[in-house]
């Protein structure tokens, strides 16, 4: 029997099954086995899940197979289709297969199993004979057998009960004599499924007729019966008793009279059913148009991929809801993915409002038992819609009719550890397997998806207008290079004149302002706030990184080294070349310019303080703060009707990250930030400060011109061979020792370069320090493979991984075949 184990080794393992359990051990069930001296739970896989050509270590026929300890599940808990999808994905991205398959197992800890000893029929006979006086049992055996006649017990329990006997030796000889045997026993799940009692109207009962006849003198019972008649799936008794503690006795008498019945059902986490807001609206003509091909694919069961490209507020969510309804009406299930469940309450609430109890919301706040309950309901088809973050992809929907990925461009869809899958790619595989459409929705599609639509691989559908003709927010771009106003110390003001004016106006109006400073990785970037100049690598087109220890600049892609300029090479400013601007300095300036305003700051340093983030968000919500200064934490997901102005302090900063997606990220982030302003009746205003007002990632934010941005960015990608044109593979080597890290990275680079011939359509870049060159006390070096020859890329990657196995133990290697996070 072949088993996948959750260990970072790229192979499957063979175990022996005791004859008694042969029938139970089918693919998709879990078993408990010994591995490297540890007890682990593995997943039984089909024998042919991966073949030898898939470069897994082949069967080791010389090894004596060990026996499994226990069978955990009575029936398969993972479908064969899911196992095949994950095995294929693991192979594509070079992930250890066991780590990939581990994602599909039911949530919560594995149920405990035990191997107690029990009497065999022969043992029972022997015991009976002894009772009749015929003593065939020697010495200590009798008390042991008597104890086991009561119930099966484990070695541990018996040793405790008979401290003076050599229990283990005795048991072994009793097994050998065939008097007792060892059994497998499941001790119930550790994550117990919480149940609740549901009251339902009994079949064929007419509540109104009953109210007027038998229940005429019991008005409370009659009312209760009518309430239950109205609830199709019954009502949990805990909800009823919450409102009226006498309900219990009324329910009992209704049940006694045969009007109602009770049922035990798994209790779901936090299901306050939203009753209002579920009403349907009339579709706009744009929405109706895009739904035609989507419904058609659902109906005809075609695994078509749609890119639903719609500006913020264009009604994408309504399209998802209608598509979900279509899948349900055809008896199929739907999966809706969102980037981060805590930041996307709105869409979750809307799915709930529309579909009520049909929805399982899979979020990290669920207790293990609740999560398991949701999982079981989906697997058995009692619940038909799963909503969740990327891990919801593994939900056991056996009858999938639709997958939706909202905000498909979001980096949160990529898993950055272990099995480094991208939800978009796995969703495609699931859709293909289930023969159902996949909708990728976004206001700012990823370059990959947009390009794929351009090539006709996926179908682009567009919603170019906001619902109800509401205008998109007004976005102004301010050129910081033309700002001359100085503070008393002679430094340039951080807030430009137009932004100061806008804050003033918002304050006068009683509106709130968010000032957004994207400071990520800031101190290591050479960015001059006086003129906006940043040092870049000409070859790789990414920002150079300042290394304080060696006091020099380096390219973190190709390892070019440059001296730190004495003064800003853009404007000659002697001081700020390395400093840029921080939130503290901004707060100082805001407070001195607007002394009466109530100002709060939210950045990473402060966010770690207990309760601080909540108090800032509360301040925004209750409108008892005027100006909030924050980093990207304030940009995402929150909706505050009082926010009238969003100011972006230095849009350039995001452009100067050593990441080939820096422009794309900046455009997406700013478009999203702009969407924050003026959600309520008041029109919103957005002011973006920058030194490069004409930059192709910034100017189109103001004109809401995604296409303009896309056309420019795709040229850059093509020129440098970055995705979606070439593939990029990223390998990070890390160790505590700097020299060991460097040597190991060089070893891998040599192994990779050995396969590169002249004219190959593949480059090996580096090794260079990783953009985050030190993390948790470990030095990090990075190696990139970039090119269009996929077969060669595979060979080079495999050679690198093989070389990685021979590195010293203290060095670790993390390979990401399709990286999203480049830092
Ligand atoms: P998106 O997901 O594209 O940002 P939403 O689906 O949230 O857009 O729609 C924006 C707003 O318009 C929401 O308040 C939604 O309820 C409303 N809306 C969507 N479709 C319609 C429609 N056909 N008629 C009226 N209002 C609609
Ligand atoms: Zn470079």
**Is the Cβ atom of 315 under 6 angstroms away from ligand 1?**
yes
Residue nearest to atom 23 of ligand 1 (CA): 283
* Closest to 691 (Cα-Cα) out of 646, 644, 645, 656: 656
Looking up tokens 């493979």 gives: 785
* Closest to 16 (Cα-Cα) out of 57, 54, 55, 71: 71
Mean pLDDT of 238-256: 82
How far is ligand 2, taken at its centre, from the CA of residue 812, in Å?
A: 24
pTM, whole model, 2 decimals? Answer: 0.78
| Ligand nearest to the CA of residue 444, numbered in listed order | 1
Highest mean pLDDT among 277-281, 566-570, 644-648: 644-648
Looking up tokens 């055996």 gives: 141
**Is the Cβ atom of 741 under 6 angstroms away from ligand 1?**
no
How far is ligand 1, taken at its centre, from the CA of residue 139, in Å?
A: 82
| Cα 699 to chain centroid, rounded | 32
pLDDT at residue 454, as a whole number: 96
Q: Which residues contact 608 (CB under 8 A, 6 or more apart)?
A: none
How far is ligand 1, taken at its centre, from the CA of residue 318, in Å?
A: 6
Mean pLDDT of 564-584: 65
> What is the atom index within ligand 1 of the atom nearest the CA of 443?
3
Q: Give 285-326 pLDDT, tens digit per residue.
A: 999 999 999 999 999 999 999 999 999 889 999 999 999 999
**Is the Cβ atom of 317 under 6 angstroms away from ligand 1?**
yes
pLDDT at 536 over 80: no
Give dist(CA 93, CA 422) in Å, integer: 10
Return the HEC string of 656-682.
CCCCCCHHHHHHHHHHHHHHHCCCCCC
Confidence of residue 54 (pLDDT cuts 50, 70, 90): very low
Give dist(CA 406, CA 340) in Å, integer: 10
Give dist(CA 607, CA 723) in Å, integer: 34
**Is the Cβ atom of 353 under 6 angstroms away from ligand 1?**
no
What is each CA distance from 377 to 238, 266, 471, in whole angstroms? 20, 8, 43
DSSP label at 710? H
Residue nearest to atom 25 of ligand 1 (CA): 281
Mean pLDDT of 575-582: 51
* Closest to 179 (Cα-Cα) out of 233, 125, 114, 228: 125
Mean pLDDT of 491-520: 86
Q: Give 28-42 pLDDT, tens digit per residue.
A: 999 989 888 888 899
pLDDT at 55 over 50: no
Is residue 147 within 8 A of residue 158, CB to CB? The reply is yes
Percent over 70 (pLDDT), the chain = 85
Is residue 768 within 8 A of residue 820, CB to CB? The reply is no
Residue nearest to atom 14 of ligand 1 (CA): 313
pLDDT at residue 60, as a whole number: 53
Phi, psi of 625 (to 5 degrees): -140, 145
**Alpha-carbon Rg of the chain, whole angstroms?**
32
3-state percent helix, strand, coil for the chain, nearest multiple of 5? 35, 20, 40
> What is the atom index within ligand 1 of the atom nearest the CA of 283?
23
> What is the atom index within ligand 1 of the atom nearest the CA of 284?
23
pLDDT at residue 109, as a whole number: 66
pLDDT at residue 50, as a whole number: 78
pLDDT at residue 269, as a whole number: 45
End-to-end alpha carbon distance in the chain: 42
What is each CA distance from 411 to 59, 720, 772, in whole angstroms? 38, 22, 18
Looking up tokens 């955990």 gives: 72
pLDDT at residue 376, as a whole number: 87
Q: Strand 260-266 to strand 195-201: parallel, antiparallel, or no bridges (unpaired)?
A: antiparallel
Greater confidence, 703 or 271?
703
pLDDT at 3 over 90: yes
pLDDT at 576 over 60: no
**Is the Cβ atom of 671 under 6 angstroms away from ligand 1?**
no
- The mean pLDDT value of the chain amounts to 84
How far is ligand 1, taken at its centre, from the CA of residue 287, in Å?
A: 10
How far is ligand 2, taken at its centre, from the CA of residue 554, in Å?
A: 8
Mean pLDDT of 629-641: 66
Give dist(CA 43, CA 83) in Å, integer: 10
pLDDT at 190 over 60: no
Percent over 90 (pLDDT), the chain = 40
**Is the Cβ atom of 358 under 6 angstroms away from ligand 1?**
no
Residue nearest to atom 15 of ligand 1 (CA): 315
Mean pLDDT of 404-413: 94
Mean pLDDT of 350-363: 88
**Is the Cβ atom of 316 under 6 angstroms away from ligand 1?**
yes
**Sign of the alpha-carbon dihedral angle for 281, 284, 287, 291:** positive
Give dist(CA 181, CA 339) in Å, integer: 52
pLDDT at 438 over 70: yes
Q: Which of 313, 314, 440, 637 to mutate to test the pocket of ligand 1 (most atoms within 8 A of CB)?
A: 313
**Sign of the alpha-carbon dihedral angle for 235, 239, 244, 245:** positive
Q: Give 652-683 pLDDT, tens digit per residue.
A: 877 877 789 999 999 998 888 777 665 556 67
DSSP 3-state assignment of 62? coil
Q: Give 467-499 pLDDT, tens digit per residue.
A: 888 788 889 999 988 877 777 766 678 899 999
């Amino acid at each position: 029997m072949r088993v996948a184990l959750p260990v970072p080794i790229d192979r499957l393992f063979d175990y022996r099954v005791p004859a008694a359990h042969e029938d139970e051990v089918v693919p998709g069930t879990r078993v408990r086995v010994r591995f490297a001296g540890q007890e682990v739970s593995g997943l039984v896989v089909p024998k042919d899940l991966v073949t030898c050509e898939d470069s897994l270590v082949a069967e080791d026929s010389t090894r004596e197979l060990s026996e499994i300890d226990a069978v955990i599940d009575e029936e398969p808990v993972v479908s064969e289709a899911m196992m095949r999808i994950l095995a294929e994905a693991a192979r594509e991205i070079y992930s250890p297969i066991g780590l990939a398959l581990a994602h599909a197992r039911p949530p919560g800890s594995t149920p405990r199993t035990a191997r107690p000893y029990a009497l065999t029929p022969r043992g029972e006979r022997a015991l009976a004979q002894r009772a009749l006086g015929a003593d065939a049992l020697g010495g200590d055996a009798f008390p042991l057998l008597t104890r086991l006649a009561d119930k099966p017990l484990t070695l541990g329990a018996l040793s405790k009960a008979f401290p003076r006997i050599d229990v283990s030796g005795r048991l072994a000889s009793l097994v050998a004599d065939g008097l007792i045997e060892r059994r497998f026993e499941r001790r119930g799940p550790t994550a117990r499924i919480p149940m609740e009692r549901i009251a339902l109207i009994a079949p064929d009962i007419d509540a109104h007729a009953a109210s007027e006849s038998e229940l005429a003198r019991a008005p409370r019972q009659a009312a209760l019966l009518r309430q239950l008649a109205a609830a199709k799936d019954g009502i949990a008794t805990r909800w009823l008793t919450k409102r009226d503690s006498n309900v219990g006795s009324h329910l009992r008498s209704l049940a006694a009279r045969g009007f109602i019945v009770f049922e035990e059902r798994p209790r779901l986490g936090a299901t306050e059913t939203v009753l209002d807001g579920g009403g349907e609206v009339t579709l706009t003509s744009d929405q109706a148009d895009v739904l035609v091909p989507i419904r058609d694919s659902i109906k005809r069961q075609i695994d078509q991929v749609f890119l639903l490209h719609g500006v913020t507020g264009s009604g994408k969510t309504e399209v998802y809801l209608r598509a979900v309804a279509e899948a349900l009406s055809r008896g199929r299930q739907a999966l809706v993915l969102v980037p981060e469940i805590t930041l996307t309450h709105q869409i979750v609430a809307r799915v709930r409002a529309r579909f009520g109890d049909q929805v399982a919301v899979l979020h990290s706040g669920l207790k293990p038992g609740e999560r398991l309950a949701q999982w079981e309901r989906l697997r058995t088809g009692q619940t038909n819609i799963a909503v969740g973050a990327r891990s919801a992809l593994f939900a056991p929907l056996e009858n999938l009719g639709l997958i939706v990925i909202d905000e498909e461009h979001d980096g949160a869809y990529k898993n950055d550890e272990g099995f480094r899958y991208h939800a978009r790619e796995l969703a495609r595989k699931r859709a293909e397997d289930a023969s159902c459409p996949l909708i990728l929705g976004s206001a700012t599609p990823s370059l990959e998806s947009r390009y794929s639509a351009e090539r006709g691989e996926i179908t682009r559908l567009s919603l170019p207008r906001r619902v109800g003709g509401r205008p998109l927010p007004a976005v102004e771009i301010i050129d910081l290079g033309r700002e001359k106003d100085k503070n008393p110390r002679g430094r340039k003001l951080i807030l430009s004149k137009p932004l100061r004016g806008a804050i003033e106006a918002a304050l006068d109006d009683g509106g709130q302002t968010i000032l957004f400073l994207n400071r990520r990785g800031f101190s290591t970037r050479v960015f001059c706030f006086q003129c906006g100049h940043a040092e870049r690598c000409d070859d790789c087109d990414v920002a150079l990184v300042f290394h304080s220890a060696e006091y020099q600049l380096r390219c973190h892609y190709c390892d070019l080294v440059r001296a730190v300029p004495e003064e800003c090479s853009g404007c000659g400013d002697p001081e700020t070349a390395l400093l840029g601007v921080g939130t503290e300095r901004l707060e100082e300036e805001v407070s001195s310019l607007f002394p009466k305003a109530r100002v709060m700051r939210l950045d990473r340093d402060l966010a770690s303080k207990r309760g601080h983030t909540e108090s800032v968000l509360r301040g925004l919500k209750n409108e008892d703060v005027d100006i909030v200064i924050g980093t990207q934490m304030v940009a995402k997901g929150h909706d505050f009707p009082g926010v009238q102005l969003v100011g972006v302090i230095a849009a350039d900063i995001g452009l100067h990250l050593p990441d080939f997606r820096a422009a794309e990220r900046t455009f997406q982030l700013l478009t999203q930030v702009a969407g924050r302003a003026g959600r309520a009746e008041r029109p919103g205003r957005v002011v973006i400060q920058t030194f490069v007002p004409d930059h192709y990632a910034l100017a189109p934010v103001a004109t809401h011109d995604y296409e303009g941005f896309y056309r420019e960015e795709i040229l850059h990608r093509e020129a440098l061979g970055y995705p979606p044109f070439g593939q990029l593979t990223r390998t990070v080597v890390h160790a505590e020792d700097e020299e060991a890290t460097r040597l190991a990275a060089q070893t891998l680079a040599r192994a990779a370069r050995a396969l590169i011939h002249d004219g190959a359509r593949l480059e090996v870049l580096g090794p260079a320090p990783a953009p985050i060159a030190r993390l948790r006390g470990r030095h990090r070096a990075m190696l990139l493979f970039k090119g269009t020859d996929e077969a060669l890329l595979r060979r080079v990657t495999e050679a690198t991984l093989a070389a990685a196995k021979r590195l010293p133990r203290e060095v670790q290697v993390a390979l990401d075949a399709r990286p999203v996070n480049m830092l």
